[in-house]
Structure 1
């Protein structure tokens, strides 16, 4: 086999590997959506529940994290909440930006155990879109939700966590939001 043919095959293999690596992220997202694994929640608004099951009670815990380098505070208004399936609840999350320049923030939700994510219905959430925050500002970001009655009976407690990221540089690179500096 000639060197040119081998080099061509290796080049084709490298391109195929790059393409496969590039496709892994959307494939992983589809896999998580189908199986409910990894605690990923749906990032679209759900419709309101039709009824409340007052005979069952579930505990929802709330945890917040900030990505490395993000200053300020990010906290839920409550640490845990006892809910009935179908019952609407609102939890406010407060974020502060102690810096002088604005930021654009993005919250990524996760649910543990992961299979509970398929039964968390958010009708309003700050995680649905990026959140601009002016310098030296505080914002209250609401999240309204209910737990679907079809939540498996063996799940009595689950945790909803949010990790907050500063995406100002990515937004600026895309020519988007001005980072909250003008309003």
Structure 2
């Protein structure tokens, strides 16, 4: 009888542990977002931008653009220019080119990062191809815009930002859907 009671307690404890671990798994994403925002890590860019700022014509910031493919990604992926000189508060645009050289439709997702990390909160993307998954048919080539504003409140010691994208192949995770009109 004693063994049965001990087994029930053990099973109950293990079930409670599973519930706690499951709950912690759901809490990880919000905890990660709060930590990134609080400490400026991982180069997460700022959220929504109200656009009410004036342009600081007296100051220029150099924005460098990098594009890399994750392991296993066969697309050609690059910015049209390596860098831009921008005025804080001004709206800017850079085009990135993607080409699917394979003979299969592919789905990809670009993940951005901004460096230095303390400047990430002052970099506002108003439109970005990274907000959605990109589906390219075999041999298809597209130009994808990123529109952004460097905030006027960017610390004065930051004179150079890097916006880097890593392109991941999601084809195996999600079947590509042909896009009409492309």
Answer yes or no: is the 8 Å Cα contact 2:53–2:152 preserved in 1: no
Q: Does 1:11 align with 2:11?
A: no
Q: Does residue 78 of structure 2 align to residue 79 of structure 1?
A: no
Matched, 1:93 2:96: yes
Matched, 1:69 2:72: yes
Residues 43 and 128, structure 1, Cα contact 8 Å, conserved in 2? no
Bigger Rg over Cα: 2
Q: CA RMSD in A?
A: 2.3
Q: Quickly say closer, same or farther: Cα 1:69–1:134, change in 2 above 3 A.
A: same
Contact 1:122 1:146 in 2 (8 A): yes
Q: Does 1:104 align with 2:103?
A: no
Question: Which of 46, 50, 58 does residue 61 from structure 2 map onto?
Answer: 58
Matched with 1:152 is 155
Residue pair 1:104, 1:179 contacting (<8 A) in 2 also: no
Query: What are structure 2's unaligned runs of at least 5 residues?
Result: none
The reply to whether residue 20 of structure 1 matches residue 24 of structure 2 is yes
What is the rounded CA distance, in whole Å, between the counterparts of 2:85 and 2:52 in structure 1?
Answer: 17
Aligned partners of 1:11, 1:179: CA distance in 2, in Å?
Answer: 44
Please name the residue that 1:32 is paired with. Answer: 36
* Cα pair 2:92 2:149 within 8 Å, conserved: yes
Distance in structure 2 (CA, Å) of the matches to 1:56 and 1:37: 26
Q: 2:122 aligns with which of 95, 119, 123?
A: 119
Q: Match of 2:174?
A: 171
Aligned length: 178
Rounded to whole Å, the distance in 2 between the matches of 1:104 and 1:49 is 36
Q: Deviations over 1:114-151 (max 9, x none)?
A: 12111112222111211111111111101111211000
TM-score, structure 1 normalization: 0.85
Displacement of 1:180 in angstroms is 4.7
Aligned residue in 2 for 1:161: 164
Which residue of 123, 127, 139 maps to 1:136? Answer: 139
Give the deviation of 1:70 after TM superposition: 0.7
How far did 1:84 drift? 1.1
Q: Which moved more, 1:143-152 or 1:7-16?
A: 7-16
Give CA-to-partner distance per residue, 1:97-122, whole Å, 9 cap, x none.
00111112211111111121111122
